[in-house]
Structure 1
Amino acid sequence: MKLDLSGKTALITGATGELGRVITRTLASCGADVIIQYRSNDDNAVKLNKEIHAMGRKAVAVRADVTDMASVQHMKDTIAAGFSMPDIVVANAVIQYQWTSVLEQPLEDYASQFESCVMQSVHLAKCFVPEMISKGWGRMIGINTECAMQNFPTQSAYVSGKRGMDGVYRVLAKEIGAHGITVNQVAPGWTISERDRIHGTERNADYERSVPLGHRGTDQDIANAVAFLASDLAAFITGAYLPVCGGNVMPAI
């Protein structure tokens, strides 16, 4: 058995970011053609596009603002005019900001998290799920976070957006499951990225002590979970919130 996404097209939002690049490469390595959504990093988009073509897969880079419905609709129109519509949509893009207490967090940070977590998911569903319904097959995969279960101090804006996103995905899973479409979430822990490897910051003893597996996960661990949920091996899994964090958080029954 292997993860085979041949004949499928995947849209990855935030694809030029550190995790996005790994997810994009991983889905392409499983046989998928890819749509590289990005907001501003033209250089990374061009570089990633070339990488995917060098792997023998088709790719297109599309600039869009996932927090704006008109921009996502324009992205859809661009894709429909010159590429394959996505069978797999990975909502990976998120807005970054400084974490602080509820009393000190700027109000606009809560709004930006709602827009980039909740509204991004709604925009993507409205634009791309109808095509999945017509095909009778599709995968909606959101990148959530272990923080949505932790609710630690300074996490409020991030957690509020991700918990709202969780609600959208659970309802959507029930609404479109009969059409052969699964809707799931991958929830990374504090993940080792390319930046950590460059700066030698892979280890953190305090965090590792709380992880049953004893170490931080990697961006590749997250991408592997996304690829699994995108594949036919996960055809009967929907509505799941899947922590990929070495057991640092454990959903209970």
Structure 2
Amino acid sequence: MPTTDLSANQARNVLVTGGNRGIGLAIARAFVDAGDNVVITHRSGEPPEGLQGVTCEVTDSASVDAAFTAAEEIFGGPVEVLVANAGITRDTLLMRMSDDDFDSVIDTNLAGAFRCARRAVTGMIRKRRGRIVLISSVVGLYGSPGQANYAASKSGLVGLARSISRELGGRGITANVVAPGFIETEMTAVLPEEQKKAYLATIPAGRFATPEEVASVVRFVASDDAAYVTGAVIPVDGGLGMGH
């Protein structure tokens, strides 16, 4: 029988898209702290201190392929864990949402994850093992006014992960979705105090999560302990979206 577990005692090659800030950065640092080899993708500038990075535009298949090739050269082997985190928002009410507002968010958040997963599995299939973790959002399950584009892109990741699971589960490859709720990041830090209170009132846990709490869940679903978990949607939302 093929070996499906990733060795807990061996450093793995981990690629985190959009790993230069916020949740993506916390995820990247969590894997580094665990002793894994980590490369992040970023669209411009330099990678954060202590991390290796490659530039990547996830809306462009050629750019995705070049980023993976560059990461494989750094690793000296294929990507074994992909965390597809890169994403954008263009929030506006449905009647005011332009085609470009909708298309650009779908192209980055959903099609971008597809492009990265498609490129990643070529190496995973050869090794007969791999982990794909797609970073969604509670909004993808719960919906949100002014975020029809974002919610559609994030809910689409569920179908993507489950289709990958059915196609490649027999090759030792898992694909799961982690769906964060409100997280303490630069984006939530600038919210007006009254808006923060309104959000907090809807969260049973009574607080926002830290990026590190999301990173811990991502590391779990990429671990040996989660070898039999695939096609799952794991909320990290303090109970906000329960039942969805």
Q: Same fold (TM over 0.5)?
A: yes
Q: Note if 1:219 corresponds to 2:223.
A: no
2:131 equivalent to 1:114: no
- Does the 8 A contact of 2:144 with 2:151 survive in 1? no
For residue 94 of structure 2, give the secondary structure of its aligned residue in structure 1: coil
**2:45 corresponds to which of 41, 45, 50:** 41
Structure 2 length normalisation: TM-score? 0.89
> Is the contact made by 2:80 and 2:124 (CA closer than 8 Å) also made in structure 1?
yes
Instruction: Give CA-to-partner distance per residue, 1:191-215, whole Å, 9 cap, x none.
Output: 11256569997x9221122111111
Identity of aligned residues (%): 31
Q: Could you say which residue in structure 2 is the equivalent of 1:22? A: 26
2:13 to 9, 30, 52: 9
- Whole-Å Cα distance in 2 between the matches of residues 173 and 5 of structure 1? 25
Contact 1:143/1:187 (<8 A) preserved: yes
Render the CA deviation track for 1:119-163: whole Å, top value 9, x for unaligned.
Answer: 112211221102111112100001000001222221201011112
Alignment of 1:97-246 (within 5 A): 97=90, 99-193=91-185, 204-246=196-238
Q: How does 1:30-109 map to 2 (within 5 A)?
A: 30-42=34-46, 45=47, 48=48, 50-52=49-51, 60-83=52-75, 84-97=77-90, 99-109=91-101
Per the TM alignment, residue 67 of structure 1 is displaced from its structure 2 partner at its CA by: 1.1
Q: CA deviation at 1:85?
A: 2.0
Superposition CA RMSD, Å: 2.3
Gaps of 5+ in 2: 1-6
Distance (whole Å) between structure 2 residues aligned to residue 226 and residue 14 of structure 1? 15
- Sort the Cα spacing of 1:5 and 1:164 in 2 relative to 1 into closer, same or farther, 3 A: farther
Quote the offset at 1:240 in angstroms: 0.6
TM-score (norm 1): 0.86
Distance 2:9 2:55 in 1: 24
How many residues in Structure 1 have an aligned counterpart in Structure 2?
A: 237
Moved >6 Å (runs of 4+): 197-201
Letter of the structure 2 residue corresponding to residue 76 of structure 1:
F
